[in-house]
Structure 1
Amino acid sequence: MFYIGCFFTQGSSYISAYTYGLIHRLHHAHTDKAEDPHSPHNDPNPFMMMWTTRNNYFNLYIGKTDAAEKYKKNLPDWERFDKIAHNYITRFCWIAIYIIVYALLATAWWQWLFLPATIIMGSLQGMAVNWWAHKFGYENYKLTNTSKNILPFDFIFWGEAYHNNHHKHPQRPNNATRWFEWDMGFQTMVFLQKLRIIKIK
């Protein structure tokens, strides 16, 4: 359900849940260090960080680089599905669909300027969280890394803006810790639990 849901909502930005989980664990293990797969401290600007993240991701995905077995434990893996959903032919099909949608709905030339952002929306979201949240914001916890909370009320990133909270408590499903913080992603988990689709530990 969630693999297919990610595929239809992420479209051309779809990435392997297994490799994403792996790269995320490596980020926590090596935050702000040279081994960090996506750190603003390893690149001079957010676009270079996006490119570095892309290379590190694909090197892990194709097996060019490896990670310790402890980082691979209990990661979701549907290899047969990824062969269909995670390839350039499928990505170009999504891009064609986006172009058709823009052609049907765009009413002014400047609206087409949003097409590139639509195509790489997943990368832009990752860049925003991983660049901004290590550069700007407030801290609830003093840690050995530069993670910060971008927004006091996260209505954009569904809880991912609470990056400092997440680095302090990486196993917690609710990234909000203070009274004014609101994690919409966690509230969605609560709703899915009520429907008996998931069970929150």
Structure 2
Amino acid sequence: MIILIFFLAHWFLSLFFQTFFLHRYASHKMFTTNKFYERTFYIMTYFCQGSSFLNPRAYAIMHREHHAYSDTEKDPHSPHFFTDVFQMMWHTVLSYRDHIKRLKEPEERFKGNYPEWKFLDYVGSSIVSRLIFGCLYVAFYVAFATHWWMFFLLPIHFMMGPIHGAIVNWCGHKYGYANFDNNDKSKNTTPFDFLMLGELFQNNHHKRPNNANFGAKWFEIDPVYPVMKLMHWARIIRLRKAYI
């Protein structure tokens, strides 16, 4: 039971900060906040993603490229140019690495207006940090796992961030239904998206990329949006006026 709770906590906390901070804030600026809260969210993203921490600048640039070139050859992670999800993930890793190491100059329109914290970006992306988190996950399992099969969950902990991205980019552009014609292959994989906290409403999101609510139909519930509204009312963030 302890292992299951730990796994679900890691899954949803990592996913929450990926969609809330990296996607909705760093990439799209769906809300504003002050420097104190921005740094707080930065730290929480680092600790919740752990060994798979994703650099906000690199994430934002790559995601903006994805929107601009959705499901074309310039899309950094369209599933329609790869035979399987692993090839797509590897291509995404290479694109991400280029932005991390600044080996690739992004187009001017993809630059800026994303959070940067050089110290935490360096620490979070370091091999040492990733190994420390990995060792902590293993130690937790050694201490609390009650069955041998539970250790097969460890690789998911190690690669939690990229796994979330792979599920969204593969499934969200291959399987499901479409509310809108976006001139791409984006789909809403499921009308009820609790597992990926609204991220699988890809068709809705590509139609309205700056809308804080990923749901469009009355039955499409984006679990993160009410949290964002609560944070808005508490004056922790300020949602864009049109989406309050």
**TM bucket by the smaller chain?**
over 0.9
Q: Name the structure 2 match of 1:155.
A: 194
Q: Name the structure 2 match of 1:128.
A: 167
Q: Name the structure 2 match of 1:84.
A: 123
Where structure 2 has 5 or more consecutive residues not aligned to the other structure, the ranges are 1-39
Q: What is the SS of the residue equivalent to 1:112?
A: helix
Deviation at 1:194, TM superposition (A): 2.1
Deviation at 1:188, TM superposition (A): 1.4
Q: Name the structure 1 match of 2:154.
A: 115
Q: Name the structure 1 match of 2:182.
A: 143
List aligned pairs for 1:157-176, cutoff 5 A: 157-176=196-215
Q: Does 1:15 align with 2:39?
A: no
Q: Name the structure 2 match of 1:66.
A: 105
Where structure 1 has 5 or more consecutive residues not aligned to the other structure, the ranges are none
Aligned mate of 2:69, from 12, 30, 39: 30
Q: What is the SS of the residue equivalent to 2:133?
A: helix
Aligned mate of 2:81, from 42, 48, 51: 42
Q: Does 1:4 align with 2:22?
A: no
Q: Which runs of 4+ in 1 moved over 6 A?
A: none
Aligned mate of 1:189, from 228, 232, 244: 228
**TM-score, structure 1 normalization:** 0.97
Deviation at 1:73, TM superposition (A): 2.7
What's the C-alpha RMSD, in Å, of the aligned pairs?
0.9
Greater relative contact order (Cα 8 A, min sep 6): structure 1 or 2?
2
How many correspondences in the alignment?
201
Percent of aligned pairs with the same amino acid: 38
Aligned mate of 1:106, from 145, 148, 173: 145
